[in-house]
Structure 1
């Protein structure tokens, strides 16, 4: 009978035009609940079984997001069972979402920021091969682009030379299906142009290069991915002896701007859809002691 309930639930969700992913996950959760009732001998003690199952979720899932997703599926399933009179009642208070723990965000100190900006420049000066020199220049330029524009890694890897307008000193930053135009700092343009010149020399076999960030090794000449950017910052953390990520470098930029400008002028600059999201991020920023 329990499989009948879950399959009826599937048909119900499909009638509501729920996404295939949601239907699959919710039905799987419904089947998991039904299986629990049978294996733990709660089939004839539904209310006790529901309580035990919710405790089971708290025990086996470590994050609030995971638990809340399961609870959302259970709310939908139990509401379905109740509306079809498959069950007489259920304790809704057991299904209240778990409060998410607000994690602290850390910006870099002034000293750390200076070390971050100097890191690849120092490696560039002592590079002993053409490839090592070019890689250091690429990584230096990546670091400066994030530090000066405050962009996300997913936006960084979409940068193209054709997005830069040297006459107007602007750059288009691509998002999912749109873009925003940012002022291009003179210092960043200087570094970008030096990097472009060295890239054209290093990849002389390529006729035209529009993608700004290219790979080496088995990805020679291909656009890099977010994973590559993350590896650049992991290597920098190992070199410097403290953790630096694309995210905390970006938040360092946000913090500096928030101290100088109005929020209304900044949330779009940093790619936030709503001003409230930027305010919430800023409240979570704490300097590391």
Structure 2
């Protein structure tokens, strides 16, 4: 039934490949635990105590609370699916409670560091340097996710309207504006890309094939390493940076929500904490009574 659930996520819920893979990893791990500890090879027959035992084993292994909570969420989704299919009468995950986690503020790159990154001598003058700059400028200039960047095709770029047609989680479409500088850069890139590309994807590798996650992650890490000491130097950091810089410069929170493609405002509100922390520092540095 795990395979049926994964197909449901893929074709009916239209979850991303990354999400489906995460569910598969969690459920495979759970299934192996049941077989090893209880000689149970059918998760749909597992008792609540077995689920609780697996969660306890994860905690004892030292898995961080966020990862444990993700695995609990995977179980809940799976057993909810089984109930909808009327394969079980009771939900065994009701005995599980999410672990408390510390809320981490999203890390971001300071504005002056981003300005340093876009200096003329940062990128090489050949096509590959232009491609690298387009990747960094797109992630920072539009706030799109890594998966959304990889799914972008040439036809999704409208240089006249200064927009991108982006397909987010569950294939939800949104229009994202881009600046004139980025549009001009894309125009240059598209002219040179034509001779090398063998695919429709906007971003290509050195061999002219569609870019893949690790390729982009390495590229971003390489350039961010030159301007920031943040431990995490990922494409998602540029998304956080995009949102934080918009908020710091007075953008409306609801507008940022739409730009990021968030389903609800709660997901966007994490960026307000960074702005509050910045205000606190300003107060401490400038006010006589601080």
TM-score range, shorter chain: 0.5 to 0.7
- Report the counterpart of residue 117 of structure 2 in structure 1: 116
Residue 254 of structure 2 corresponds to residue 264 of structure 1: yes
Distance 2:111 2:74 in 1: 44
Q: TM-score, normalised by structure 1?
A: 0.65
Q: In the alignment, which of 173, 177, 180 is matched to residue 171 of structure 2?
A: 177
Q: How does 1:67-82 map to 2 (within 5 A)?
A: 67-68=68-69, 69=71
SS in 2 for 1:108: coil
Q: Equivalent residue for 1:167?
A: 160
Q: 1:171 to 1:51 in 2, by over 3 A?
A: closer
Q: Which residue of structure 2 aligns with residue 213 of structure 1? A: 203
Give distance in 2, aligned partners of 1:211 and 1:144: 17
Please point out which of 242, 253, 264 is paired with 2:229.
242
Deviation at 1:239, TM superposition (A): 3.8
Tell me the secondary structure at the aligned position of residue 172 of structure 1: strand
Q: Is the 8 A contact 1:103 1:284 kept in 2?
A: no
SS at match of 2:175: strand
Q: How does 1:11-22 map to 2 (within 5 A)?
A: none
Unaligned runs of at least 5 residues, structure 2:
8-23, 40-48, 80-88, 282-290
Query: Within 5 A, what are the aligned runs for 1:124-135?
Result: 124=123, 133-135=126-128
Which of residues 160, 174, 187 is equivalent to 2:181?
187
| Structure 2 Cα separation of the partners of residues 142 and 221 of structure 1 | 15
Query: Do structure 1's residue 196 and structure 2's residue 190 form an aligned pair?
Result: yes
* 1:173-229 CA-partner distances (Å, limit 9, x unpaired): 1224232112231111111111122223x52xx6x864221111xxx1111012211
Q: CA deviation at 1:284?
A: 5.9
Tell me the secondary structure at the aligned position of residue 174 of structure 2: strand
Query: How much does 1:237 deviate?
Result: 3.5
In the TM superposition, what are the counterparts of 1:227-238 in structure 2 within 5 Å?
A: 227-238=214-225
Distance 2:226 2:115 in 1: 14
Mark the CA change 1:60 to 1:151 in structure 2 (over 3 Å): closer, same or farther. Answer: same
Q: Secondary structure at the match of 2:260?
A: coil
Instruction: Name the CA distance, whole Å, in 2 between partners of 1:143 and 1:159.
Output: 14
Pair member with larger Rg:
1
Deviates more, 1:175-184 or 1:187-196: 175-184
- TM-score, length-scaled by structure 2: 0.65
CA root-mean-square deviation: 3.9
Would the alpha carbon gap of residues 73 and 28 (structure 1) be closer, same or farther in structure 2, given more than 3 Å must change?
A: farther
Shift of 1:25: 5.4
Please state if 1:223 is matched with 2:210.
yes
- State the distance in 2 between where 1:164 and 1:72 align: 35
